[in-house]
Each structure stands twice: as C-alpha cells, then as structure tokens.
Amino acid sequence: MGGGPTEPIDEGHRLLEACKDHVIRTMRTVPDCQPGGPGAGSYEIERAAGFELALQRQDNWFTWSLLQRMARDGLIEAILTRRTRYRLLDHQSMAPRSKGSRQGPVLGEDPEPMERGALG
C-alpha cells in the first residue's frame, strides 16, 4: 500500500527540485534573465514557466517563493531594484545546474510584498 511516513515528504522534495529545474530552463528562454542582463520580475518568470494559478490577490506566491529560495541557495541571482528581479548566473546560461550547488551572490533578502500582493 505504500512506504513509510516519509514517502510524501520525499515526493514533495522531488517535486520542488523539478520545479526549480523548470524555472532554470525557463529563465534560459527569457532574454532579461541572461547573465549580466537586467533580470526579470517574478510575474514575468511565472508566466513564462506556466506557473500562473489565476488566484485573485494571491497569485505569484509559489513562483516568488521558489525564486527567493533559489536566490538564497545561490542557484540564481536576485537583483534589488524597486522590485526584485532575477537572472541566471554565468554558469547557467547553457549548462543544467548541478544538484546541491551553492554558487553565486544573493543580493536581496527582503520580500517584495507589493509584487506578491496583499493577503487581505
């Protein structure tokens, strides 16, 4: 009937890794996301990745959370402007990311509440 109690957790981790890989592949197709480029906002990346959930006032949380985690883990670069923008690191423009890599700078730690939308 199934494995132990960690089976759903393990599957969740695999799904998150697959989503991160999908975001990297998607960012390779967005000109602004290229290394040294101006970066793209989370909404632009979300649309390009097909992650739109069409939730009024709460859309973008999933994509924004993935991008923030990826930036903090050094998988992508976050650029602080009026709204945080994201771009690939030099080694990611063509090569797939290696699991567990922690390379590259993280330039922002603050969330972007205006971009994500309010909960109220």
- Looking at the domain assignment, is residue 19 inside a domain? yes
Q: Residue type for 2, please?
A: G
- Looking at the domain assignment, is residue 55 inside a domain? yes
- Looking at the domain assignment, is residue 70 inside a domain? yes
Alpha-carbon distance of 60 to 51, in angstroms, equals 8
DSSP per-residue letters across 28-54: TT-GGGSTTS--B-HHHHHHHHT----
- Looking at the domain assignment, is residue 118 inside a domain? no
- Looking at the domain assignment, is residue 50 inside a domain? yes
pLDDT, average across residues 89-101: 56
What residues make up the domain containing 55? Answer: 7-97
Look up the CATH number of the domain holding residue 13: 1.10.10
Using an 8 Å Cβ cutoff, are 60 and 43 in contact? yes
| Domains: count for the chain | 1
- Looking at the domain assignment, is residue 32 inside a domain? yes
- Looking at the domain assignment, is residue 74 inside a domain? yes
Alpha-carbon distance of 70 to 34, in angstroms, equals 16
Instruction: Give the tens place of pLDDT for each residue, 103-118.
Output: 344 444 334 433 444 3
* Residue carrying structure tokens 């890794």: 17
Whether 56 shows a pLDDT value over 90: the answer reads no
Q: How confident is the model at residue 120 (pLDDT cuts 50, 70, 90)?
A: very low
